[in-house]
Amino acid sequence: MSDSSQHSDSVDQGNGLTSTLRSGAKWLAISSVVVGLLPVASTFTAGTVANVLGCRLNEAAFHPCYIFGINIGDLLYTMGVAGWYTFLSIPLAGAGLVISGVLSGGVRLWEAFRE
């Protein structure tokens, strides 16, 4: 009786582990995409806001841009230049997606092997 209960416990622990790994792989993939796209979203947002407000936006320098009497030119410049971070964020996101895929594939292989 104790042998079967020990076997049952190890099977439950294995299912919990695979479930945890699968969930971790999913969240790693989601966070990798978000991290990879944040600099791009920042740049597009800055460009859209500058266009709507009729302000100049370029990488040479920040230009005054007022909304409700507040100068947001420096903020728009910083957001626009953040696009350069994609040279770092896209490879990191790709690595995260690869690791997530390997982890997910490993869990599926493990489950197929166990059955």
Chunked mean pLDDT (size 10), the chain, 115 residues: 45 66 89 93 95 93 92 94 93 94 89 82
Is this structure's pTM higher than 0.95?
A: no
Neighbours of 2 (CB within 10 A): 6
Q: Which residues pair with 16 in a beta bridge?
A: none
Neighbour-count burial for 103-112, b at 16+ CB within 10 Å, e otherwise = bbeebeeeee
pLDDT at 14: 53
pLDDT score at 5: 46
Residue 23 has what pLDDT? 87
Q: How many residues are given for the chain?
A: 115
What pLDDT is stored for residue 107 in this prediction?
87
Give the number of other CB atoms < 10 A from CB of residue 9: 10
Helix/strand/coil (H, E, C) string of 75-114?
A: HHHHHHHHHHHHHHHHHHHHHHHHHHHHHHHHHHHHHHHH
Backbone angle region of 54, left / alpha / beta, with phi > 0 → left and psi within -120 to 50 → alpha: left
